[in-house]
Amino acid sequence: MIVDKSTILASVIAIVLAASSLILYSRVSILQSMYEARSLEYENLRSNYESMQSKYDSLLSDYHKLNSSYTMLSSLYEALFSDYQRLLHDYQSIFLDNQRLIEAIEVLNISYRILYSEYNATVDALLHLYENYEKLNNTYNDLFDNYKSMLRDYEILLEGYRILDESYKTLEARLSTGRLELFIKDYLKLTGEVNIHALHPKIEDLLLITPNDLRVKSLMLQITGGWSGYLDLDEIAVDIKAMFDWVIGNVRYRSDGLYPLLPSDPSLPLIYVSDMWQYPNQTLAFREGDCDDQAILLASMLSAYFRGKLRVECIVVTDHMAVYIPFKDGKIMILDPALGYYTGSPGTPSFSDIRVEIYRWIGRLEDLFGRKVNVKWVFSDSILKLFYSTESFIEWLYETV
């Protein structure tokens, strides 16, 4: 069969066109897909662009603000830089001054160490001098106290000498007229008046307790106002404490010096003893005395206060004297102004059991003296009683209260 060439060509063309159409369609599909992808990218890019445009506008605004701030900060920076330059100059100047000061401080430290060493040496010397001063001052005070004590003793001896001298002149005048009997009588009287102060115990010791002495009575009334007469222990305790405090606060403790005793025969030499008891008015005049003088004064004041309604007696123990007041029911109150002790101290004065209180007080004395202490005798303005032991005194006291 013979085919027409034009038909074949047309068929070929158609096939070619169909193939081309397929290819084109395929390409169109691809392009369509690409277009859609490009459109999506475009939309994304446009959205990003708008976002970036917004950010750009914001950044541009910030830029203008920062630019303005930069201009201001630049101006401030220039001012600060100028200040910095000035401060740098000042710093360099101060640094040089500091270096000079450091050098000066090092010199001062060396000088300080030298002065400190000299100061310590001076302080040590001063402390040594101060210790020597304290020792010398204490020695001076002791010597001054001894001087005053000796001066007092001298005044007492001088007064005694004056009295003896006047008596001697009087007796000499009487002797010149042949009145020997009167001389002997006056000398014996003088001997009794002088010797009453020493050589104890003796019955004349009773005369040393003087509740009726005007100075003693006046002082007692001045301190207490007097006793109501009732056994009010509160009133009694307050008034006893007031008199006790007055004695220890106004009679300075002074040990006895040597005291002359007149011999029974005026041709014999004087005897000197180291224990001398003063009358209460003498202690008030001198404002000095030892334990004996303070106890005798306090006993006289208490006797004037109680007016014989309560017993007041001096108690003499080994090398010491105090005062005691016996009370009913076997009680006692001890008052020791030289020791600063009283029954019930440091509270209100009170009465305590005789045996307990006597041994408590004696125990204090034994601790102070470092030796055995015993009761020797007691006396007042009406009694004088000797004892061979402390227990014999305690037994006698229990029997008599």
In this model, does residue 197 exceed pLDDT 80? Answer: no
> According to the model, what pLDDT value does residue 174 have?
61
Q: Which two tokens stand for residue 39?
A: 């459109």
How sure is the predictor about 316, in pLDDT bands with cuts at 50, 70 and 90? very high
Q: Per-residue confidence at 172, pLDDT binned at 50, 70, 90? A: low
Q: Which residues, listed in sequence order, are joined to residue 158 by a DSSP beta bridge? A: none
Classify residue 230: in a domain, yes or no.
yes
| 218-257: pLDDT as tens digits | 999 999 999 999 999 999 999 999 999 999 999 999 987 6
Residue 259, sorted as left (phi over 0), alpha (psi -120 to 50) or beta, turns out to be beta
Predicted confidence (pLDDT) at residue 185 exceeds the cutoff of 80: no
The pLDDT, as a whole number, for residue 66 is 82
Percent of the chain clearing pLDDT 70 (strictly above): 83
Asked if residue 267 is part of any domain, the answer here is yes
Which of these, 253, 256, 385, 366, lies nearest to 316 by C-alpha position?
Answer: 385
Domain for residue 251, yes or no?
yes
On whether residue 335 sits in a domain, the answer given is yes
Residue 320 inside a domain? The answer is: yes
pLDDT higher than threshold 90 for residue 94: no
Tens-place pLDDT, residues 43-57: 888 888 888 888 888
**pLDDT of the residue at 47:** 83
pLDDT digit string, tens, across residues 338-362: 999 999 999 999 999 999 999 999 9
For position 287, what pLDDT does the model report?
Answer: 95
pLDDT exceeds 70 at position 1: no
Residue 326 is part of a domain; what is its CATH number?
3.10.620
From the list 218, 216, 236, 219, the residue with the least C-alpha distance to 227 is 236
Residue 112 belongs to some domain of the structure: no
The larger pLDDT score, comparing residue 257 to residue 133, is at 133
Domain membership of residue 93 (yes or no) is no
Closest residue by Cα to residue 156 from 256, 249, 271, 300: 256
What is the pLDDT at residue 117? Answer: 80
pLDDT at 81: 85
The whole-angstrom separation of Cα 373 and Cα 366 is 6
Supply the pLDDT for residue 317.
Answer: 97
pLDDT band for 363, please (50, 70, 90 cuts): very high
> What is the Cα–Cα distance from 110 to 131, expressed in whole angstroms?
32
- pTM value > 0.75: no
Domains of the chain: total: 1
Distance from C-alpha of 191 to C-alpha of 199, rounded to nearest angstrom: 13
Q: Is the pLDDT of residue 281 over 80?
A: yes
- What is the structure's pLDDT at 194? 65
Interatomic CA distance for residues 365 and 351, integer angstroms = 19
Mean of pLDDT over the chain = 85
Cβ burial of 179 (10 Å; 0-12, 13-18, 19+) is middle
* 149 pLDDT more than 70: no
Highest mean pLDDT among 1-15, 17-31, 175-189: 17-31
Q: Residue 233: count other Cβ atoms within 10 Å of its Cβ.
A: 13
Range of the domain at 297: 207-400
Q: Does residue 149 lie in a domain region?
A: no
